[in-house]
Amino acid sequence: MSAGDTTGQFFRTLGRTSARIGWRHLIGVAVLGVGLLLAPVVGWTSVLVALGLLVAGYLAVDSIEIVQAYERRPYTVLGKFEGMLGPGINVVIPLVTETHVFDIRTQTIEVPTQEAITRDNSPVRADAVVYLSVVDAEKTFLEVEAYRQAVAYLAQTSLRAVIGDMELDDTLSRREEMNDRIHDQLDDTVAEWGVDVEAVEVKSVMPSDGVVAAMERQTAAERHRRAMILEAQGSRKAAVERALGEKEAAILRAEGRKRASILEAQGDATATVLRAKAAEAMGERALIERGFEALEHVGRGAATTYVVPQELTSLVGRYGRHLADDGTGSGLDSLGVDLAYVDFDDIVETPANAEEVEIEIE
């Protein structure tokens, strides 16, 4: 072994030894020095007694280990692992026993900002928080040195690996998937260290400035496109609604004109029929009145047999039935003819093809 290697080994051993020296060791060395200085003055006996009492007190204190409820302490005796110290007061061998404190409560580790490139070649910056706890202090003590630092380094590499395996849009929108993938990668490794990764939360993923500017332009263009589509759809719907309104209005107007024409035609037809019936009624009435006047004139004569046209007998019969249905006698009264002396039972009508009928009056 060369001189350089020997010197290096010496300093490394000195460093490990100094790391094991605690405040109690320094106090013991200081008390021993003070006793040696006072020995010529107070006497060696007194100094030795005092030093003995101090050493006994020191050994008594050094043999007691008080462990908190949230701690687990693996301990070694002369460098050999002996077991775990549970919560409460524990008695150990003084001077040769070393204990190591592990907090089993949930701890947080900040993962510093990492720069990575996504699968579609977009640079991003991301950071995260890891929540972990020590579940097996023996494994943590024997399997890993500085477990918090080891988990932090592993989380950094896992974060960069996950980002490199995803596209930019996925890193911005699929945050839960990123958390699960980082958690799975960490949990597979740190389980061998007696450490449990409870959760991983990616706090932020920030693309580079150039990518952010491009995304803003893309978002603005997409919003403009959607606005134009909505405007075109609105115009089309408005035109359709206007056309439907105009169509319904035209149909209603045509239906109105049709109904008006029908009603007008029906009115004209009804008026024509009524005028025709009125004219017919007036003609029949005039004929009947003339016939009654003729009968009255004939009745004053001496003859007993008269020849009456068939049409006159038909009109007299129809007019008589009208008077029987009405019961008011207004029709005959308006004729100004008195039929009280005319017996219609004596009227004998000849067959329909005869042009004249004979009426015999007794």
Query: What's the CA gap between 121 and 164, in Å, rounded?
Result: 9
Give 50 or 234, the one with higher predicted confidence: 234
Q: What is the pLDDT of residue 2?
A: 54
Helix residue spans in 300-343 (DSSP H): 310-326, 330-335
Least confident among 184-193, 269-278, 321-330: 321-330
CB 339 within 8 A of CB 323: no
Least confident among 2-6, 143-147, 273-277: 2-6
Q: What is the pLDDT of residue 261?
A: 86
Listed residue (22, 17, 147) closest to 72, CA to CA = 147
At 175-218, the pLDDT tens digits run: 899 999 999 999 888 989 999 999 999 998 888 776 666 666 77
Predicted TM-score (pTM) of this structure: 0.52
CB 190 within 8 A of CB 132: yes
Listed residue (310, 319, 311, 320) closest to 351, CA to CA = 310
Q: What is the pLDDT of residue 130?
A: 95
Amino acid found at 185: Q
Query: What's the CA gap between 140 and 74, in Å, rounded?
Result: 10
DSSP state string for 222-243: HHHHHHHHHHHHHHHHHHHHHH
**Tokens at residue 123, please?**
């640079």
Q: At what angle do helices 209-299 and 310-326 cross, to 10 degrees?
A: 120
**Tokens at residue 217, please?**
């332009």
Does the pLDDT of residue 345 top 70, yes or no? Answer: no
Res. 296 pLDDT band, cuts 50 70 90: low
Cα 317-322-326 angle, rounded to 5 deg: 150
Rounded percentage of the chain residues whose pLDDT exceeds 70: 65
Q: At what angle do helices 44-62 and 23-42 cross, to 10 degrees?
A: 160
Residue 315's CB: how many other CB atoms inside 10 A? 17
Could you tell me if residue 133 is left (phi over 0), alpha (psi between -120 and 50 degrees) or otherwise beta?
beta
Buried b (16+ CB within 10 A) or exposed e, 1-25: eeeeeeeeeeeeeeeeeeeeeeeee
Q: Which residue's entry shows tokens 């025709």?
A: 276
Looking at every residue in the chain, the average pLDDT score rounds to 76
Query: What's the CA gap between 147 and 74, in Å, rounded?
Result: 15
Rounded percentage of the chain residues whose pLDDT exceeds 90: 22
Res. 104 pLDDT band, cuts 50 70 90: very high
At 34-78, the pLDDT tens digits run: 767 777 777 777 777 777 787 788 788 878 888 999 999 999 988
Q: Where are the beta strands (DSSP E) in the chain?
A: 64-67, 71-77, 80-85, 88-91, 97-99, 102-103, 107-117, 123-134, 195-207, 305-309, 356-360
Give 355 or 280, the one with higher predicted confidence: 280
At 248-272, the pLDDT tens digits run: 888 988 888 888 888 888 888 888 8
